[in-house]
Amino acid sequence: MTGLAFFIIAAQQASSAKNEVHIEVKGEFRVITSNGIPDHETGAFPNRGNPNSISPQRYNLRVPANPKVAGSPTPLQHQDFGVAINGIPFDPFTAEYWHNDRQANWNYEGIFNGQTFLGIDFNNAHVQPTGAYHYHANPVGLMKNLRSDGTKMVQIGWAADGFPIYGLYGYKNANDPASGVKKLTSSWRVKQGTRPSGPGLAYDGSFVQDWEYVKGAGELDDCNGRFGVTPEFPKGTYYYVISENYPWIPRMFKGNPDASFRRGPGGPGESGRRGGGGK
């Protein structure tokens, strides 16, 4: 079978598959099962920057139903940050490094100066070599489906530690629903100066390592979240926000992420989700 024929068949299979997701609380956990097929229009895959086609997955994820704040934040490593309510994972990192040198630790960002790379579509998403469609930033199609128009807070998913994820907007006064909503901004900023190694040149945001947390620069903390009331949690909770600026999807957990979000055998996909390039 030629590569072109394979892509055509894979695309036909993806287009015929329908979104399947089920979320329920079982004991101490919220269990999310999904086939990973989006419930909205996507860009064309494969494309020039992403050679992969969307195909059904077998996600069986769980998060604490009553999450707790940990003693200190946990960096996001070798796992997805969370899952959208339509069953699509949130996965902000890329597998691309400067000169393909992971040891040098200069990891490219998938979004740079508002522009997307690596074949990311208009939903800020693209596809793993395994066929797994996943979001790198604001899930535009999902937000449209949820009628998020800037007049209300909209929950769009669950983080791996069990805390809820909201899209872009939150109350102006975190504890007052009557205060109206605003687009919440992160507190991460591009570093000043030049890179001490690797690609050199001035920090410009094109690498993960170009960014630093500046407390109080925005409404959100280093985990890109805050405490407050929400429509789903009127008594208050910690919640994350998918922001319109870096880190877009949070890069740290306020609580303890569940092991079901780890990549590789035993992770969210039947045989793991991390493949070669094209992440």
- Whole-model pTM? 0.90
What pLDDT was estimated at residue 264?
62
CB 222 within 8 A of CB 251: no
pLDDT of 215 = 97
Question: How does the average pLDDT of the chain come out, rounded?
Answer: 90
Whole-number Å distance between alpha carbons of 173 and 151: 14
pLDDT of 279 reads 53
Contact of 242 with 158, CB cutoff 8 Å: no
Token pair listed for 222: 């280093």
Residue with tokens 């992440």: 279
CB 133 within 8 A of CB 53: no
Q: What is the mean pLDDT of each run of 10 residues along the chain (279 residues)?
A: 40 70 98 98 96 97 98 94 98 94 93 85 96 97 96 97 98 98 98 97 96 98 98 98 97 97 58 36
Domain limits, the chain = 3-261
For position 15, what pLDDT does the model report? 54
